[in-house]
Structure 1
Amino acid sequence: MGTQYDRFIPQFARFQCLYRALDHRRSTYINLAKTKRFPFLTRGGGHGYAASLGDFQLGLSLDLSQWKHLKIDKKAQTLTVGPGITFAEIFDPLFNAGFYIQTGSCSCPSMIGVTLGGGIGRLMSVRMAGSDGKVITVSATSHPDLWWGIRGAGANFGVVTSATYKIHPLVNNGNVFVADFYIPPARSREYFDMVEANYSNMPADLAQVQLVGNWVYYGTEKEARKVLAPVFNLNATSSTRIVQWNKLVSSSGFDEFICQPNQPRSLFSLNQKIYSANGYQAGFKKIEKYFYDYPGGRDTTLVIENFPNQAVAAVPDDSTAFPWRDFKGFIQVNFAWMAGDEATAQASNKLGEELRNQFAATSGYSEKAVFVNYARGDESIESIYGKRKLPRLAQLKKKYDPSNLFAYNHPLPMHYP
């Protein structure tokens, strides 16, 4: 999700490739770009935050957004999708088939694109066209070294033309309990103290996105009200509802901000390993002043995402390239303003730097750490991929993309250190 990277590409050649023709054309385009030595970039959902995408100029952008293959195998409990499939397009088919899968907080990104940055879900295998133009299946048993690397740094090694995921039977008949709490500014510190005191070790079925105070529990209402008792005890204005899983993301209110097309944006994000009421409150006060001083930026969101991480932490750290298995959520400031409002744009970027540095001090990490899909691109490469993972990733990059064809989405080096 994020800024549509087309705005970073003033001059390029784009090819819309239909599903039936793509098998042949993808290798042709890769070989053409490699032979003629011009920049090459693939586009799925068109949601890239990386500042490095701005380096893509006068090249060929392969648009995969029309390749919308989707197949559910009920017996095997798998979902296979093409690179054009967004999260919005899997919810109803999966729900109607009696299944669900973990997703992000908004519906518009490419499912495959998000997966390759995280590497922490139920991805089982991918079909990939590499820099040599050959198509291979990558899984735990086929090219296992590359299988390690694509789960966390997947944009660096090839063009993924399909991915297969493990899916899960619906829990509680697919019904999810959602509670929204509306906290006045004067009670913000009280709310943040409650979060820190009660949810630093969050139950496995609970997640929170603090756009207002949006809590989601995968289970029954009775169980949810027990787990959320500290929040309800605030006696804040609230509303609760039961939402079917396939409608959860679209009903959150988050989509309408994050998925607006052609919207100038600037993103600053950090992982958080601990919950800090001091950090939350200091950031809240600065955003409050920003809204007062710059009305043109009031579509901006300061989002504190808190998640249970038991499943992520249970997987051995060396099993994938994803480097941050001890994280418990994200701090994300997503600035948005109208095109041409340069005063708000400059103020946004200035405040974004301040907030990122401020939140880093209370994140629980000794250095800045950021999820690659949320990374701005001006962070150090260690902040994105992790110092321990980089030597192995650099070796893989040299092996599978020695010509550095895939060089525009948080690119990896060929050597590290």
Structure 2
Amino acid sequence: MWPRHTIGLKFSFFSLCFLWTQATFTENSSVTYEPAGGAGQQVLTWTGGDGQVISADYLKLSLKQELQKRLSSEARIFLQDEQGFESLDARYTNYKRPWYIAAIQVAEENDVIETVNYARTRGIRFAARSGGHSLTTSLRRIKNAIAIDMRKLNSIKYDESKRRMTVGGGITTGEFANVTHSKGMEVTVGSCPCTGVLGISLGAGIGRLQGKYGYLNDNMVSIRLLLANGTVVEASKDSNPDLFWAVRGAGHNFGIGLEATYQVYPQLNDGRHYVVDFEFDLDKAEGMLETVNDMSKSMPAEVALFIIGRRKGANGKPTININLVYSGPEEDATPYIQPFDALSPVWKDAKTATWDALPWATYNGLNNILCTPQGWARFPIKNFYAANVKKYDIPTMRSYFNAWRAQNQKYEGEAMFSFMFESFPQQRVREKSDDATAYPWRHGSDHFLMIEAAYKNSVDEELLDNWLSKQQDSFIATSGYGRLQQYVNYGHGSKDPPEALYGYDEWRLEKLRRLKKEFDPEGWFNGYQPFVEDIELDGD
């Protein structure tokens, strides 16, 4: 449960495309929820230190009047029923989402600090957001909260002598890649351009270039972190090194990232990548996955693969899209393209794209949907499960593909079932020791499997959740690891044990919990994929 005499403030900065949130509690105030007239509705009351009960409407009005005095002239406050609130409240999924009474559009770092301090003294939960893509169900525990929109904190500075980029807490992957590419540099980033850079690297930062450069957080030089006590500290190998270890893999549990510095590298092949998309009939699934398994045994650092389901492919039928990106000259990619050509795809597209344009050039422009509120709104509720596997188990995948096709046919127009599997090279990732950072799966994440059900309110939510969970169970049973091993940024939330996210070696959680007591003893940051003991993961 949340600590006594507290209310939760959760901070998540997601990614496959993320949202930061934090959980705070105060000693002399509390928020309670009373049943309202409608089913499932709640009203907010705030109990101050003097025992006075204040209504939600009064709280919202006083919030705007009091907080505006603390913020910079460029900051904006939008209450729940005001124009402008909706755009700051929009997010990739409404499944078990946080709910806000106000949204703050901050203009500078101090606005974040002042908002957090105000919320803490008033006993109001708050959450900071950037891309709005966080998937974890632990967000549902953040109710009647303040949303802190970080997007204007998107500064980026390049130190040419040290080859380092320093970025603000609201910058997205696309913005980061654009500027880094313009300097002739590159580093590992996620495949979704509208995710928050800091949120991704607080988890790890997997991506196509990890074979060359390791995870994004392997390249983090330092981070400025807002702690629960209101102070801003720097974490690096020389300053707060234990905290720096924890931040890279479990960072959402320790504070708000205000700014971070990353090492970047000169582009190879002038930053040009060869991109090939194939579509295959489902009856080619076995040959396709056998090819991926064979290629993965010694995947070169230049190759990265995505496997994506298409309800209606180029032939009008369900197809499987293989996206292959080779970070080098086209002619060098031929040995990796030929095995897929031999399987007779129903459609193929090949092109050269610069590194900054990769998100828009790959898998037939899917990111144009993933990155727009208009795309999110088509099926606004999205439930997401994932698992790591050592290799693709062919019978398990065949069973899943058949079930995926059947579900899309059954729920056509009401729901959409999707999958995205990622297979990345591991060279630089595994050069580092397993204990280098808090991320536990350097040798336990050969492939990342993600499945999703997106739907409207009319669909039986529990039925679809059970279906997704059953598919995940099959992945785990044949994963080659013998247990759930989960990338924290892809974690479902309440159904993931902390060991699956942070490691089964006892010393890992022991170290994280010891550091938690040092840097966040009251549990203010227990909202995003928490690892503390005795916390209720299934309750609201």
TM-score, normalized by the shorter chain, greater than 0.5 = yes
Would you say 1:254 and 2:366 are equivalent positions? yes
TM-score for the superposition, normalised by structure 2: 0.72
Q: Distance in 2 between matches of 1:169 and 1:47?
A: 30
The match for 1:152 is 249
The match for 1:395 is 514
Write out aligned runs for 1:40-119 (5 A): 40-118=126-204
Q: Distance in 2 between matches of 1:274 and 1:148?
A: 29
Change (3 A) 1:230 1:413: same
Give the superposition deviation at 1:13: 3.2
SS in 1 for 2:470: helix
Give the superposition deviation at 1:224: 0.6
Q: Which amino acid aligns with 1:73?
A: D
Q: Deviations over 1:81-140 (max 9, x none)?
A: 111111121222222211112111211111111110116321111111111111111111
Q: Distance in 1 between matches of 2:496 and 2:163?
A: 39
Q: Distance in 2 between matches of 1:334 and 1:71?
A: 37
Q: 1:214 aligns with which of 308, 323, 337?
A: 323
Q: Which amino acid aligns with 1:367?
A: R
SS in 2 for 1:54: helix
Q: Which amino acid aligns with 1:324?
A: W
Q: Which amino acid aligns with 1:255?
A: N
SS in 1 for 2:413: helix
Would you say 1:368 and 2:477 are equivalent positions? no
SS in 2 for 1:204: coil
Would you say 1:143 and 2:258 are equivalent positions? no
Task: Identify unmatched segments of 5+ residues in structure 1.
Answer: none
Give the superposition deviation at 1:414: 6.0
Give the superposition deviation at 1:30: 3.0
Would you say 1:405 and 2:524 are equivalent positions? yes
The match for 1:14 is 103
Q: Which amino acid aligns with 1:359?
A: F
The match for 1:168 is 265
Would you say 1:273 and 2:390 are equivalent positions? yes
Contact 2:100 2:147 in 1 (8 A): no
The match for 2:437 is 320
Contact 2:384 2:451 in 1 (8 A): yes
Q: Which amino acid aligns with 2:464?
A: S
Contact 1:67 1:83 in 2 (8 A): yes
**Greater alpha carbon shift after TM alignment, 214-223 vs 113-122:** 113-122
Write out aligned runs for 1:335-374 (5 A): 335-337=453-455, 339-343=456-460, 345-374=461-490
The match for 2:315 is none
**Greater alpha carbon shift after TM alignment, 323-332 vs 119-128:** 119-128
Would you say 1:332 and 2:444 are equivalent positions? no
The match for 1:239 is 349
Q: Distance in 1 between matches of 2:194 and 2:463?
A: 27
**Greater alpha carbon shift after TM alignment, 225-234 vs 135-144:** 225-234
Write out aligned runs for 1:372-391 (5 A): 372-377=488-493, 378-388=495-505, 389-391=508-510
SS in 1 for 2:435: helix
Larger of the two Rg values belongs to structure: 2
Q: Distance in 1 between matches of 2:279 and 2:128?
A: 41
Q: Deviations over 1:191-250 (max 9, x none)?
A: 122222333332221110012011111111111112333222223242211111111111
Change (3 A) 1:297 1:113: farther
* Percentage of identical aligned residues: 28
Contact 1:196 1:277 in 2 (8 A): no
Contact 1:78 1:164 in 2 (8 A): yes
Q: Distance in 2 between matches of 1:200 and 1:279?
A: 19
SS in 1 for 2:428: helix
The match for 2:124 is 38
Change (3 A) 1:83 1:129: same
Q: Which amino acid aligns with 1:258?
A: L
Q: Deviations over 1:37-56 (max 9, x none)?
A: 43232222222111111111
Structure with the higher helix share, 1 or 2? 1
Q: Which amino acid aligns with 1:145?
A: D
Give the superposition deviation at 1:386: 1.3
Give the superposition deviation at 1:36: 3.9
Q: Distance in 1 between matches of 2:264 and 2:100?
A: 40
**Greater alpha carbon shift after TM alignment, 368-377 vs 402-411:** 402-411
Q: Distance in 1 between matches of 2:390 and 2:367?
A: 25
Q: Which amino acid aligns with 1:310?
A: Q
SS in 2 for 1:296: coil
Give the superposition deviation at 1:297: 5.8
Contact 1:5 1:53 in 2 (8 A): no
How many residues were matched structurally?
411
SS in 2 for 1:231: helix
Change (3 A) 1:299 1:168: farther
Contact 2:414 2:459 in 1 (8 A): no
Q: Distance in 2 between matches of 1:295 and 1:210?
A: 22
Give the superposition deviation at 1:400: 0.4
**Greater alpha carbon shift after TM alignment, 352-361 vs 10-19:** 10-19
Q: Distance in 2 between matches of 1:297 and 1:215?
A: 31
Q: 2:405 aligns with which of 278, 288, 297?
A: 288
Q: Distance in 1 between matches of 2:180 and 2:386?
A: 31
Q: Deviations over 1:303-350 (max 9, x none)?
A: 12111112111111111000111111211002222x33314x455323
Q: Deviations over 1:274-310 (max 9, x none)?
A: 2322332221111111111111366432112111112
Q: Deviations over 1:343-400 (max 9, x none)?
A: 4x45532321111011111212111111110111021111111122211111111110
Contact 2:192 2:367 in 1 (8 A): yes
Q: Distance in 1 between matches of 2:283 and 2:341?
A: 17
The match for 1:133 is 230
TM-score for the superposition, normalised by structure 1: 0.92
Would you say 1:197 and 2:330 are equivalent positions? no
Would you say 1:188 and 2:303 are equivalent positions? no
Give the superposition deviation at 1:6: 7.0
SS in 2 for 1:79: strand
Contact 2:387 2:484 in 1 (8 A): yes
Change (3 A) 1:230 1:188: same
Q: Which amino acid aligns with 1:161?
A: L
